[in-house]
Structure 1
Amino acid sequence: MNRTRVAFFDVDGTLTTSGSMFRLLAFYLAAMGHPPRVYEERRRELKAMAAIGCPREATNRAYFSGLQGVDAAVLAGVADAWFAAELSTGGYYHEPALAALRRHQERGDHVVLVSGSFPAPLRPIAADLGVEEVWCTEPEIVHGRHTGDLKGPPMIGAAKAEAVRTVLARRGAAPDDCVAYGDHVFDLPMFKAVGSAVVVGGDERLRTSARAHGWPLLPGTLPPPALPLPRTGPGAAARTRPAFHSSHSSFAPTSPTRYEMPETA
């Protein structure tokens, strides 16, 4: 009998060489005509929170609070243009992890992206990779605009493990037949929810854990190429959009209005 195998991939720093949230923010602010100092000030605020020991979930929420009032459709259009700009650099994907993802797809494994980022930047990535299920942080959007709040917990740490367990239960997959890829210590709960893990780069704590568990190691990412920023407003055409899951949403693959398939600051 064929066994269901699932491969779970973190995105930022694992499949890609850069973080989608900060890079999209820089691109969006430039597209809206803001000078570079606006982005730098926002980035410094978030980095300062991390430097004084704020939990990663808190910095993630702070990032989304900065989106209050942003038109979600405009941001989605900018995200498509941002992704095209990332691809134009020729160094967006992390080739060792991308090759692993392609191997899983070629042998018929179900591939799932699990990311602390959010649908706007993840949709074009998932569509480009041919991935049909993504679990991520879901911002609250009311009347077409971001409220600055989230609809559930950020897709970080324990939330990633819960997403993995949900996917395994719905697909009838045994954890021992499945694998997870990630680059950060916050991916450990996801790793422990499956039978095997692959550490991509990672800090010494994560690599120590990998050695203790016998997990394979892949090289870390190279510094990302400079991102070409727009000089005019957004006008990108919408791409085909996969369905998304947030950490709390129900699984309803036929509904186009939910994040059904399914790093954060």
Structure 2
Amino acid sequence: MSGARERSGAVRGAAFFDVDETLITAKSMFEFLRFWLARGGDDGTRYARHAAALRDMSALGIPREEVNRAYYQYFAGTYAADVRAAGRDWYAAYRERPDAFVTAGLSALARHRAAGDTVVLVSGSFRACLDPLAEDLAADRVLCGQLVVDERGFHTGEVVEPMIGRAKADAVAKTMRELGLAAGDCCGYGDHASDLDMLRVVGRPSVIGDDPTLGELARTHGWPVMSSAHGARGEE
């Protein structure tokens, strides 16, 4: 995915946005898993079991990258086209919620888009969830987990590299080089300490919400801190 600004060679800057709790209020991977399992007849029991297993891994201190990999195992053997279609249906329903979006994040994205900046979504989630959002928000690029698909079009349950922590920073830095931009030309938005590596790569980081780690750094370095207030699409 690349936007008209990139194709025209008119890139003046870039803005990199984390997604979950930065642009949308949901944990997209969990919400989509619930939606996907319900389509298969789950009454919530399987979802509760899978979600609890992932949360237990986090509580035990297992690295977020490994928890991310464990999540994608749930899609082993699924047809990629079916998952993509389900992602569009999930997002179409999700975007109608009155509390679906972080209004400050959407407002910032709209300002960057209007200014002609390249808008990039950066997330540990995957394209089934993110592509419909990117289209809705007119984002130019998506940097995310790339699921392995076999020659028949089925997910293997593996992800090439979790887009978590340092991987986010590396992907952002690579994109900046591809666009010919310096750090000072680029902004970043995140809500969680796991976004810190990404925020340090850009010249103008901003924090959304009240994460204590990011809040302390924001106070030390003078980074803007934005509200995590929720709203509907169109309220930004």
| Structure 1 position 46 matched with structure 2 position 85 | no
Trace 1:88-107 onto structure 2 (pairs within 5 A).
88-107=96-115
Change beyond 3 A, Cα 1:198–1:42: same
Task: After TM superposition, give the deviation of residue 222 of structure 1 in Å.
Answer: 4.5
Unaligned runs of 5+ in 1: 225-265
Q: What one-letter code is carried by the residue in structure 1 that aligns with 2:110?
A: R
Cα distance in structure 1, aligned partners of 2:12 and 2:210: 28
Query: C-alpha displacement at 1:86, in angstroms?
Result: 0.4
Q: Which has the higher contact order (CA 8 A, sep 6+)?
A: 1
Aligned residue for 1:116, secondary structure, equals strand
Could you say what secondary structure the match of 2:113 adopts?
helix
In 2: Cα distance, 1:169 partner to 1:70 partner: 35
Q: Distance in 1 between matches of 2:182 and 2:23?
A: 24
Q: Partner of 2:5 in structure 1?
A: none
Larger helix proportion, structure 1 or 2?
2
Among 154, 158, 174, the alignment partner of 1:145 is: 154
Partners of 2:148 and 2:155 within 8 A in 1 = yes
SS state at 1:180 partner: strand
Q: In 2 relative to 1, CA 223–112 (structure 1 residues): closer, same or farther, beyond 3 Å?
A: closer
User: Could you say what the CA RMSD is over the residues aligned between the two structures, in angstroms?
Assistant: 1.6
Q: Runs of at least 4 residues of structure 1 off by over 6 A?
A: none
Kindly indicate whether residue 9 of structure 2 is the aligned counterpart of residue 28 of structure 1. Answer: no
The 1:46/1:201 distance shift into structure 2, 3 A limit, reads same
Q: Deviations over 1:142-174 (max 9, x none)?
A: 1211111112x2111111111111111111111
- Distance in 2 separating the partners of 1:100 and 1:203: 19
Structure 2 gap segments, 5+ residues each: 1-9
Q: CA deviation at 1:221?
A: 4.4
Q: Distance in 1 between matches of 2:108 and 2:231?
A: 20
Q: Which residues of 2 match residues 4-153 of structure 1 at below 5 A?
A: 4-142=12-150, 143-151=152-160, 153=161
Alpha-carbon contact 2:15-2:120 (below 8 Å) kept: yes
Number of aligned residue pairs: 222
Question: How many angstroms apart in 2 are the aligned matches of 1:47 and 1:20?
Answer: 15
The AA in structure 2 aligned to 1:184 is H
Does the aligned pair in 2 maintain the 1:4–1:171 contact within 8 Å?
A: no
Q: Residue in 2 aligned with 1:190?
A: 198
Q: Which has the higher strand share?
A: 2
Q: Is the contact made by 1:14 and 1:221 (CA closer than 8 Å) also made in structure 2?
A: no
- Deviation for aligned residue 1:32: 1.2
Q: Percent identical across equivalent pairs?
A: 42
Give 2:155's aligned amino acid. H
TM superposition score normalised by structure 2:
0.90
Candidates 167, 170, 176, aligned match of 1:168: 176
TM-score for both structures, normalised by structure 1: 0.81
In the alignment, is the contact (CA less than 8 A) between 2:103 and 2:228 conserved in 1?
Answer: no
Q: Residue 212 of structure 2 aligns with which residue?
A: 204
Letter in 2 for 1:80: R
Change (3 A) 1:181 1:52: same
Aligned to 2:7: none
